[in-house]
Structure 1
Amino acid sequence: MIQFEEAILGLSNDVGALTISNQEEASDDDNVSTRSSITAVDTGSNDYKVKLDQQYVSSTVEPPCPKVGSDDFDRLCVLGRGAFGKVLLVKHRVSKTLYAMKTLKKASVVIHVNNIKTERQILEQVNHPFIVQLYYAFQTSAELHMILEYAVGGELFRFLDQEGMFSEPMTCFYAAELVLALSHLHSLGIVYRDLKPENCLLDQNGHILLTDFGLSKVSLDGKTNTICGTAEYMAPEVLAGLQYDYSVDWWSLGILIYDMLTGSPPFKGNNRQKTIDAIMSKKPTMPYYFTNEAKSLLTGLLRKNPHVRLGAQNKGSDAIRKHRFFRKIDWKLLVERGVDPPIIPVVTDPESAENFDTAFTNEPIIGSPPNALSGFPQQQQNNENHFRHFSYVDISVCS
C-alpha cells in the first residue's frame, strides 16, 4: 500500500492516541507503530481574530503572482488517501501543468495546527533538487490545500518491492542524493525524522524527491525530544525518549541503505515491541555479500551511541560524503543532476499516474467527507483563524 504523506494524511491508526500539550512530549509505546508515522502534537494558544478569504490565496507576494483556488485545478485521480484527507493528481486549467494536490480536512487536523503550519513553512523554505517543491497553498472553509511538485515516477518503495533488493551501485546513488537532501535540511535547522522508502519519490528522470514533512522539526539548536517516526527506522535515542539532534536522520539513512541492499530493515520482530527491543539491544547482521565499504558505512551509521555515529558532531555530512562507500560519487555533478539515475521510470502518460498504486488511482474522485463542524459557524470561523497565513504562492509561478 502506498504510504504517501502518511504522517498528516492519517494512514496511522495511532493518531487518535496522541498526547496533546503545549510542549512536545515523549509518547508511550502505543504511539509507536511499525511502518506508520506518528508524533506528539503542539497546540497553539493564540486566538486570531482574522477573517480569511475562503476561496482564493491571500498572498503576500507582490503582483503579478496569480491568485488560485480549488476551482483553478481539474482533479484527475487519487494518488493517496488517509483519515485526514488525500493527495490528488491535478491539472492547472490555464497552464495545463500537472501537480500533486494535498488536501486536508480542517475538522480533522485542527488539533494538529502547529504540525501543519510547520510542514507548510518548511516546504516554503527549502529549495533543493532532491526535495519536493511547494508551488501554492490555499484554503477553503473546510479544507487546506498544498499544491506540490508531481513526482511522476512514484515511490522508491514500489521499485524496491519489485526488485527485491538493489545492487550496491544503485543503493549508493540513491543514498548519495539523500545525503545531499538531508544535509540541506540540517543546514536550515530542520530535523527530518521520517526517512523511509515510502517518502522517497522519483521524478520523471529517476532522481530522488524527498517528501512528507509532517513529522519534521525546526530546531534552532538542532535538538528535540519527541518520540515520532516509523518504528523500524527510529534511532535508539528517539525510542528511549532522550534529547536528540540531526544524527537521528543519519541512523535512518543507515536503515534505509540496509533495506535497499537486502530488501528489509535490519531490526524487526513479530510485533512492535520486539522490533523496538531489537533496535535497542541487537547489532545488525551483515550479509556475506556486503562489501567491506558497505559494512564500514553501515557500522558507522548504525552506532547506537549518537555521539560516535557517522555524521554526528561537527563533521556532519562531510564525514559521510568522504566515506569510501561513496568513492565513485562526483558530488558536484550529482547536485547538478548530472549523473544518470539507475532507474528511469516508465511514463507513457503522466496523467494516468501509472507509477502509483492502482488501489488509489482506480478510486472514483469524490469530495471530502462532510465537515463535521459545518453546522457550527463559530467553530468553522475558529478553524479558519487557526490556519492564518497558510496561503502561499511560489515566485517561480509568477509571470
Structure 2
Amino acid sequence: MDSHKKCILIIDDALVNRLLLRRILSSTYEVMEACDGEEALLLLRRAPANVSAILLDLVMPKMDGFTFLNYLRNAPELAELPVIALTGADSENLEVRALEAGANDFLEKPFRPDVILKRLANTLLLQEALIEARTDALTGLFNRTAFAKYTEHYIVQHENAGNLAALMLIDIDNFKQANDTMGHAYGDHILMVFSEILTEAAGRHALVGRLGGDEFIVLLKDIDSLAFAEEVAADILYRLETSSKSKHPLTCSIGISVFPQDGTTRRQLYFCADEAMYRAKQLGKNQFALYGGHSTLSQRYSWMRKDWILDELDSMIYICDLQTHELCYMNRKASEKIKQASCGAKCLCFMAGLSATPFTFCTSFSGSCNGTFNGVRQTIDGKQLYCQSHLVDWNGRRAHMTVITELKDNQL
C-alpha cells in the first residue's frame, strides 16, 4: 500500500459498482473493497488506521448500510471515520435516514466521476480540520478540550451501568530540567516518545491525551478490575525507563482514580488522580499511586503545588512536622545547601548555624504557638542570615515552615 496515498474503503455488493468506483478513485487514492458490512468490519478491525474514508452502499444483503453505520458509530476506534452513503436515484427518503444514521454525505447512482472526487476531497478536508481541532499538534493525542469532552460523554453513558474505569494523570519526572539542559528539540522528542509509549501501553480502546507541557492523561474504559489499571501503570513505567539508553533514564509519576468509586464526574476524577500523582511524587517519583487514604480533596486545595512556588524563591525553605520534627520538604535552594555540606546533617537550622544540634531550633516552638517567629539573625561564614518560622498545614499535618534568607548590606 502506498503510504503517501489515503485509503478509501468501498462497500458495495455489486461487483460492477466496485470496479467503476475503483477506476475513478485509483489514480488519487489507495482502494480497498468489501461486498457487505460484515466483510468491511473485519477489514477495519484488522487495520483501522489504514482507512481514511468509506463509500457505503445502503442497500446490501447480510449487513446493509444502516446496520453497518450503527456498528461503526458505536465503536470508539472507528466512530469518526467519514462515510459517504451511496444509493440509487429512485430511493426516496434514504438521504435523510443515512445522515441521521451517521453518514457524513450522500451520493446518488449513477456515479459522476468529477462529483465523487470533489465530494470525497471535501469530506476528507473537513475531517482533517476536525482532527486538528481536537488533537495536540506535537504528539497527535487528544488535547485538553477534546479529552474532557469524550470523558464526560463516557461518564454520562455509563453512569448507572456498573462499568469500572480508571483515570490516570501522568507527569514526566524532572522534565523541565532535561528540557532546559538538553534543549527544546530534545524535550519535544521526549514528549513524542512518551506519547507513543502511552498509546501502546493503554491499548486501542483507551482515551489518551496531553494536557500541556509534560502532563498527560489516560482514561481506561470498561476495565475488569483495578488490578488492570495497576498493570498498565507498571507497564508505562517500565517502557519509559527502558526507552532511554542514557545514564539517567526517563521516569514518570502516575496518579490513578477509579470511576465510580472515587468520583462520578470528570472534575472529581481529575482531582483525585491529581492528588494520587502528587503522592507518587512525594514517595520518590518513578511510581504510581492510587487515590485514597492519605488525604482529602478539601485538604489538598490548601497546599496544591506549593513546592513549585517555593522552588522559585531564593531563600532556603524547609518544612518539619510539628510533633515528630520529620523533614517533610526542602525547596531547591535548601537542597543545594545540603549537597554542598561536608557533614551529613539533614536539618537546615543546624546547617545554617541556628542551633548547636539538629532539630533543637525546631523543637523550641510549642504546639500551641500560633504566630510567626522572627528575629533570629546569625553571621555564618561571613554571611548575614535571617530566619523566620511559620506554623502551616502541609498535607493535613501541622508543621513548621522555616525560611532562611541571606541578607544583603542594605537589608535588616
Question: TM-score, with normalisation over the residues of structure 1?
Answer: 0.19
Q: Which has the higher helix share?
A: 2
Larger RCO (CA under 8 A, 6+ residues apart): 1
Larger strand share, 1 or 2: 2
TM-score by length of 2: 0.19
